[in-house]
Amino acid sequence: MSVVIEARDVTFAFGQTPALRGASVAVEAGEILAIMGPSGSGKSTLLHCLAGILVPDSGEISFAGARLDTLAETQRSSLRRDRFGFVFQFGQLVPELTAVENVALPLLLSGVRRTSALERAKAWFARLGLDGLEERRSGELSGGQAQRVALARGLVAEPQLLFADEPTGALDSLTGEQVMDLLVSAAREQGTTVILVTHEARIAAYADREVMVRDGRVNAPDRIVS
């Protein structure tokens, strides 16, 4: 296995508030990694640095063997659009668009023609048990349905990496587990590496490996003294 993305000794502060204080983590291609840790420990900040949304104050991020943090914003934004997928806690579907248009969005942004983008998007509805919901808007979907639509949107462009920040955080535990089942099997099928932030052990249990963030640093669980 080879490392696809890596943070080395990353620091990041929001003004005077340090969020990361020397965080390092390496993720193997095809791996499903759960980032756990208490509230405010720096999990989301680490995810955003890995995804090239935030630029570390110091340290390095590498993706596919090349520095990501030193790229210009336009290059990082192309990389996010073309190689990365995202799923967030509250789905964040565009309310004006139908479910299928939401799923097609990453393809349309990458320049895929509308008919072909919608066709590829539609295929995900059967796959995720969303048949018949293609034309609904986000306000007409249950939380679990909306999150499955968000998952389809995150995976439709077959990203190399999927970043998922508390993807089940707004769902009840049964629905959350169904979404995780779908996320893990779809990611494995297309060989997508997944970096998942969660504070729930039962959600992290779906991952191949867990790391723990505490006070802005990453520890492997076996190094944690509780």
Ligand X SMILES: Nc1ncnc2c1ncn2[C@@H]1O[C@H](COP(=O)(O)OP(=O)(O)OP(=O)(O)O)[C@@H](O)[C@H]1O
Footprint on this chain of ligand X (rule: CB under 6 A): 14, 17, 19, 37, 39-45, 199
The torsion defined by the Cα of 119, 122, 127 and 128, in degrees rounded to 10, comes to 150
Q: Is-contact 107 114, C-beta < 8 A? A: no
State whether residue 48 is helix, strand or coil. Answer: helix
At its nearest, how many Å lie between ligand X and the CB of residue 11? 12
- 43/148 with CB nearer ligand X: 43
Q: Read off the tokens for 66.
A: 């090349």
Residue 43, Cβ density class (10 Å: 0-12 exposed, 13-18 middle, ≥19 buried): buried
At its nearest, how many Å lie between ligand X and the CB of residue 19? 3
- 89/145 with CB nearer ligand X: 89
- 45/193 with CB nearer ligand X: 45
- 4/10 with CB nearer ligand X: 10
At its nearest, how many Å lie between ligand X and the CB of residue 6? 18
At its nearest, how many Å lie between ligand X and the CB of residue 80? 18
Main-chain dihedrals φ then ψ at residue 102, nearest 5 degrees: -60, -45
